[in-house]
Amino acid sequence: MSTSPSSSSAPLSEDSELQELMEQQRKNLLSTLPRQRWQGSYLYKYNGFWFSTMQMPGLVEFRKHFQARDSDVLIITTPKSGTTWLKALAFALMNRNICPINQNHPLLNQNPHTLVLHLEYPNPYDKQHPDYSFQGSRRLLGTHCPLALLPESVMNSGCKIVYLSRNIKDIFVSYWHFTNKLGSTETSFEEFFDLFCKGVSLSGPIWDHVLGYWKASLDKPQKVLFLKYEEMTQEPAFNLKHLAEFLGCPISQEEETAGVVDEILGLCSFDHMRNLEVNKSGTMWNHSNQVFFRNGKVGDWKNDLPSEMAERLDQITILTSKKKQSKKLDNLKPTPKKTARDSDHDKMMTKKNNTSKRNANKNGPGQENGRSDAPPSAGGAGRRPGKRTGDGPVTYSEKDLAVGKAATEGYSFVPL
């Protein structure tokens, strides 16, 4: 229906006029940008990254008008990196004092994306400038926005960023299934893959997206927490407590003894959330909530991705990381040491944890319990780089620095 007034209609309301103006500004902007046909629509290249027509209005408004608060927490990912899971975990952690884990918890009847607003998709678009003054004193927000496009207030304030990365091959396969669930079947698997390799994907190129936040986590470790999906699934309890510490709401010993860690992990587990009625029959952005849940398994790419395609992604990753190696990783720091109590919670790692503990002393400094400080190299968890002398700082060899620069997020990198 046209929004233009007819001779017999009443004048447009102020909100309608603003909405019409916003729509015209969007069209004017899109007409100046490079575009690429993608899954039945178009992606537009904006400041070096690709965005959909649905993303662009909210992204532009977010960059212009969002003012970060020191108390804000931003959940940032590339699409299909575990966004829904991380939003649920962060929401449960930050609100556990006012929303205890019981039959009335908000996550039992609301999708995580409704509880943690996605900043590119303010809803509804009923104002020219979305109202960001919401969610009380401490806001938990989500975005796929690359680091380079964040509003200045985000990096200049005391707000915190939690970034979740994932194996690029798993991201690609999940991405393909997701777009097909949305009914976007115009592009073949091979064409979709070729575009992905060229960097044409939502908020892509994915390599630039990940490297930006990886470097920021090294420069500002108190501001940016860089998590890996594979480590989160492998050691959920340890990483949940690490996340709580970073967010300033640590889990106390009393809470741990009372089973709070297990309660949150159970509430937010993939299988539990997928089987909730709200996520089986509810809708969001005109799509079923079911599209946000497929299987969440690590390494599932092997069921869909031919070996030559997997190798191509690995090679692009190496080449991209080499091009981005512009400064040394002087701030590379070990992740927190895992305590014996953490292993009790990580049921998925029972056999491997026991082996790692027995071999802890053999691994040398910085390899307690088999955890790796640096992002892993091809096909595994990788080794912990660096050497410590007494109580002095950790030092890194040139090889460690090179591997750390290349292996930005555990995407099955081939070591340099």
Same domain, 381 and 311: no
Pinpoint the alpha helices (H) of 141-188.
152-156, 168-181
| Residue that finishes a domain, picked among 324, 348, 380 | 324
> What pLDDT shows up at residue 290?
56
Q: Is residue 2 part of a domain?
A: no
Nearest CA to 228 out of 162, 302, 295 is that of 162
| CATH code of 138's domain | 3.40.50.300
Range of the domain at 115: 22-324
- Helix or strand run (H / E) with residue 87: helix 83-94
Same domain, 166 and 287: yes
Q: What is the rounded distance in angstroms from the CA atom of residue 73 to the CA atom of residue 78?
A: 17
Nearest CA to 160 out of 249, 229, 34, 238 is that of 249
List the structure tokens of 102: 């019981």
Same domain, 114 and 235: yes
The predicted-structure confidence for 182-213, as pLDDT tens digits, reads as follows: 666 678 899 999 999 999 999 999 999 999 99
Query: Contact at 8 Å (CB) between 147 and 296?
Result: no
Report the SS3 class of residue 375: coil
Nearest CA to 120 out of 149, 93, 95 is that of 149
Same domain, 149 and 240: yes
What does residue 49 show for φ and ψ, rounded to 5 degrees?
Answer: -130, 160
DSSP bridge partners of 37: 42
Same domain, 307 and 376: no
> What pLDDT shows up at residue 371?
38
> What pLDDT shows up at residue 350?
47
How would you label 329-358 residue by residue, b for 16+ Cβ within 10 Å and e otherwise?
beebebbeebeeebbebbeebeeebeebee
Query: Could you give the dihedral angle defined by the CA atoms of residues 304, 377, 210 and 300, in that order, rounded to the nearest 10 degrees?
Result: 20
List the structure tokens of 54: 């649905």
Same domain, 125 and 40: yes
Q: What is the rounded distance in angstroms from the CA atom of residue 375 to the CA atom of residue 405?
A: 9
Same domain, 185 and 236: yes
> What pLDDT shows up at residue 287?
60
> What pLDDT shows up at residue 208?
95
Q: What is the rounded distance in angstroms from the CA atom of residue 376 to the CA atom of residue 32?
A: 41
Q: What is the rounded distance in angstroms from the CA atom of residue 176 to the CA atom of residue 193?
A: 9
Q: Is residue 243 part of a domain?
A: yes
> How many residues does the structure list for the chain?
416
> What pLDDT shows up at residue 253?
96
| Residue that finishes a domain, picked among 261, 296, 324 | 324
pLDDT digit string (tens) for the chain, length 416 residues: 333 333 334 444 555 666 676 677 778 888 999 999 987 889 999 999 999 988 888 898 899 889 999 999 999 999 989 999 999 999 999 999 999 888 889 999 988 888 998 888 755 344 445 666 665 678 999 999 999 999 999 999 999 999 999 999 999 998 888 787 766 667 889 999 999 999 999 999 999 999 999 999 999 999 999 999 999 999 999 999 999 999 999 999 999 999 999 999 999 988 888 888 877 775 555 665 556 556 778 888 999 899 999 999 999 988 887 766 544 344 444 455 566 556 555 554 445 444 444 444 444 433 333 334 444 333 333 333 333 344 443 343 444 444 433 433 343 332 22
Beta strand spans in 208-251 (E): 224-228
Report the SS3 class of residue 72: coil
Q: Is residue 333 part of a domain?
A: no
Q: Is residue 349 part of a domain?
A: no
Strand-by-strand arrangement of the 41-46 sheet? 35-38, 41-46, 49-52
Catalogue the active-site residues. 144
Same domain, 313 and 373: no
What does residue 158 show for φ and ψ, rounded to 5 degrees?
Answer: -90, 10
pTM: 0.74
